[in-house]
Chain A
Amino acid sequence: MGMTITEKILAYHAGKERVEPGELINCRLDVVLANDITAPVAITEFEKLGLNEVFDREKVVLVPDHFTPNKDIKSAEQARYVREFARKYGIINYFEIGRMGIEHCLLPQEGLVLPGDLVIGADSHTCTYGALGAFATGVGSTDMAAGMATGEAWFKVPETIKFVYYGKMPRWLSGKDLILYTIGDIGVDGARYMAMEFTGEAIRELSMDNRFTMANMAIEAGGKNGIIEPDEITLAYVKQRAKRPYRLFQSDPDARYAEVREYNVSRLEPQVAFPHLPENTRPVSEAQGITIDQVVIGSCTNGRLEDLQIAAGIMKGKKVHPEIRVIVIPGTQEIYLEALRQGLVEVFIEAGAAVSTPTCGPCLGGHMGILAKGEKALATTNRNFVGRMGHPESEVYLASPAVAAASAVLGRIAAPWEVIK
């Protein structure tokens, strides 16, 4: 019996020939990550162990991105706590404001996560790195602390659900639509404790930015990890960034899956997830006309260059609807600079949108675009829980950058083909 890519990566890091779903194993970690919200709790736990050093100064990554640039005094104290820890323990991969980015856009860009890696991060969207053919999963602060101390973590080997996407992607369809449609199909706990392996001809054609978006939202179906087997597209992305060797794993043809689900993408419409769960998805044609107060384009889900290119392509020469606000947040400083060089920032500003320095900000209701009571936002982010972007009586609709840009222009939820004929 063969193994899935997830099982192979776990087995390799456990020093075993093979692993079985359900087995409890101890694994070596390649990267241990935290941010300004989760690191403070992890640091306090780590220091209880009384150690003088972390297991590897290069493998611990700290990115203050949630409430930064510091939104208030308490956030500033938390950010300082992380900064001082990084200095005290000589953490090499600490990223300061002005040189940083949203963690899950930043780490792949910097070549800090590579194919075949095993990564834990004290942030649920750590699963993003599965797009590179790595095993990456979110954990809490105590697991992060233990990881910093020992370089190891325990795992229960998950069963895998295989999602096969076939057919040709229609013009406006994106990775965001595929993952929203999938979550709508299986529900917010449809892959609870399980690996989600995305494959099929439509995935093989997807750009890295779209693949990151898909793996990013595996957690929204309860998944332990989302993963895509590495191919030429992965290698083209990784080659120019990797500073250390990496390993390519593939699922065996006779690997065992808990379930296989197939989707024909040819006739899929862009998707919109209605409040208050990411599983409440409908085709955009059933959402057209819903008025909104704010559009957010950004986040670890959709704050990458291609996302901004698509949005700018729709907004170029147009104006933001007078009754709404649009906030564009490039995922990293590098993406921001490239968006500037390509004239995308100019498109957004001329259209009447605000462009922000990289931050998680409004996605989790932190800052930079909080909603008032009764307000509605359409966002390219990942969650639309009650109160996620502000007041408990505000609402969030989730969609792709194309739908967001069209909605920004028309002032209501709109399909991209309404703006670009």
Chain B
Amino acid sequence: MIFRGKVHKFGADIDTDAIIPARYLNTSDPRELARHCMEDADPAFPEKVVEGDIIVAGKNFGCGSSREHAPLAIQAAGVSCVVATSFARIFYRNAINIGLPILECEAAVEDARPGDELEIDLNGGNIRNLTLGKAYQATPFPGFMQEIMARGGLINYIKERMKSGA
């Protein structure tokens, strides 16, 4: 899978309340959640994000609550991939389980500026900053998680396992 999109840059410790504030959690409709995505970190984000854009953020992205509404909101907002220095563990797990592409790469995060164009090859974990003309290698996922992602998320993965009687 290859993604190409413009960078929206955020700092460290972006928590799930910033990604999708709890005041909007009286629904789990992804389109409604997308309307408020990243609102408390950047109120203009839901307006300016376009299909394929990439969120770039510092360490511990997605810390806080276990709400799967956070990766769902990002996915429904049209974001193709999140590149961060590191992810909080529940967010990391949730993103893989729902099929939201994520990558960890500190160097790419440090260099990227808002509006830069990135090209990402998810399978190889290759990140290219087309604006800066630089290439980076992200930390590869363990094979087990790649399998889940290749099947489009955990539910499909389990469906297949149940079918095969494993």
* Chain A residues at the B interface, C-beta cutoff of 8 Å: 24, 37-38, 40-41, 44-45, 48-49, 66-67, 71-72, 74-75, 78, 121-124, 126, 138-143, 145-146, 149-150, 154, 156, 188-189, 192-193, 219, 222, 224, 277, 364-366, 383, 385-388, 392
State in angstroms the CA–CA spacing of A392 and B22 once bound together.
12
**B26, A67: Cβ atoms under 8 Å?**
yes
Verify A386–B158 contact, CB threshold 8 A: no
Residues of B within 8 A of A44 (CB): 28
With both chains docked as a complex, state the minimum distance between the C-beta of B18 and any C-beta of chain A, in angstroms.
6
Question: For residue A140, which residues in chain B have a CB less than 8 angstroms away from its CB?
Answer: 66-68, 71, 90, 93-94, 97-98
- Stretch of B57-65, B74-82, B113-121, B130-138 with 4 or more beta carbons under 8 angstroms from chain A: B57-65
Inter-chain contacts of B40 with A (CB < 8 A)? 386-387, 392
A41 to B26 Cα, complex, angstroms: 12
Flag if A192 contacts B86 (CB, 8 Å).
yes
Nearest chain A residue, comparing its CB with the CB of B158: A146
Q: Which of B68-112 contact A (CB under 8 A)?
A: 68-69, 71-72, 86, 88-90, 93-94, 97-98
Give the distance to chain B from A127, nearest Cβ to Cβ, in Å. Answer: 10
User: Could you list 18 A-B pairs, sorted by A, with CB under 8 Å?
Assistant: A37-B22, A38-B66, A45-B155, A49-B155, A49-B159, A67-B26, A121-B66, A140-B67, A142-B94, A142-B154, A189-B60, A192-B88, A193-B89, A222-B88, A222-B89, A366-B23, A386-B15, A387-B18
Query: How far apart are B92's CB and chain A's nearest CB, in angstroms?
Result: 8
Within 8 A of A (CB), among B137-166: 142, 144, 153-155, 158-159, 162
Whether B158 and A150, one on each chain, are in contact in the complex, defined by CB atoms closer than 8 angstroms, is: yes
A17 to chain B, nearest CB (A): 21
Contact pick for A142, options B22, B59, B98, B159, CB 8 Å: B98
| Chain B residues engaging chain A, CB cutoff 8 angstroms | 13, 15, 17-18, 21-23, 25-28, 40-41, 59-60, 63-69, 71-72, 86, 88-90, 93-94, 97-98, 142, 144, 153-155, 158-159, 162
Are A222 and B162 closer than 8 Å at their CB atoms? Answer: no
**Whole-angstrom distance between the alpha carbons of A189 and B159 in the complex?**
34
Chain A residue, CB-CB nearest to B92 = A193
Interchain Cβ contacts within 8 Å, total number: 135
| Contact assessment for A222 and B60 in the assembled complex, using a CB-CB cutoff below 8 Å | yes
- Contact in complex: B22, A143 (CB < 8 Å): no
Known: A49-B162, A141-B68, A146-B154. A37 touches B90 (CB 8 A): no
* B residues less than 8 Å from A193 (CB atoms): 89
A142 to B98, CA, bound (A): 7
**Considering the chains assembled together, what is the distance between the CA atoms of A124 and B65 in angstroms?**
5
| Chain A residue nearest to B60 in the complex (CB) | A189
The 4 closest A-B pairs by CB, nearest first: A140-B94, A74-B26, A140-B68, A142-B97
CA distance in complex: A382, B69 (Å) = 20
Contact with A38, one of B13, B26, B67 (Cβ below 8 angstroms): B67
Q: Is the CB of A142 within 8 A of B68?
A: yes
Given that A140-B93, A188-B13 are known contacts, is A145 also in contact with B155, CB under 8 Å in the complex?
yes
Partner of A41, one of B69, B86, B90, B144: B69
In the complex, which residues of chain B have a beta carbon less than 8 angstroms from the beta carbon of A121?
A: 66
Nearest opposing residue in chain A for B98, CB measure: A142
CB distance from A310 to the nearest CB of B (A): 27
Given A142-B68, A145-B154, 14 more A-B residue pairs with CB atoms under 8 Å apart are: A41-B28, A45-B155, A49-B159, A72-B26, A122-B68, A124-B64, A138-B90, A141-B94, A146-B154, A192-B88, A386-B40, A387-B40, A388-B22, A392-B21
In the assembled complex, the Cα of A150 lies from the Cα of B90 at a distance in Å of 20
Given contacts A41-B69, A124-B66, A142-B153, contact A387 B21 (CB under 8 A): yes
- B94 proximity list for chain A (CB < 8 A): 139-143
Q: Give A366 to B26 CA distance when docked, in angstroms.
A: 9
Q: Are A48 and B155 in contact (CB under 8 A)?
A: yes
Question: Within the assembled complex, what's the spacing in Å between the Cα atoms of A154 and B144?
Answer: 10
Which residues of the partner chain A approach B65 to less than 8 Å between Cβ atoms? Answer: 123-124, 364
Separation of A364 and B66 alpha carbons in the complex (Å): 12
Partner of B93, one of A74, A143, A383: A143
Q: Which partner residue on chain A sits nearest B144 by CB separation?
A: A24
- Shortest A45–chain B CB gap in Å is 5
In contact, B26 and A365 (Cβ under 8 angstroms) = no
A66 to B66, CA, bound (A): 13
Q: Which B residues are CB-close (under 8 A) to A386?
A: 15, 17-18, 40-41
**A41 and B68: CB pair below 8 A?**
yes
| Cα of A105 to Cα of B28 in the assembled complex, Å | 25
In the bound complex, what is the Cα–Cα distance between A29 and B40 (angstroms)?
Answer: 36
Nearest residue in A to B90 (C-beta to C-beta)? A138
Interface centre among A150, A277, A364, A366 (most CB of B within 10 A): A364
Residue of B nearest to A124 (CB): B66
Contact (A383, B17) CB under 8 Å given A124-B90, A145-B155, A193-B89: yes
**How many whole Å from B131's CB to the nearest CB in chain A?**
29
User: CA–CA, A150 to B166, complex, Å?
Assistant: 11
Whether B17 pairs with A387 at a CB distance below 8 angstroms is yes
Distance, CA A164 to CA B88, complexed state (A):
25
In the bound complex, what is the Cα–Cα distance between A277 and B25 (angstroms)?
21
A383 vs B71: C-alpha distance when bound (angstroms): 20
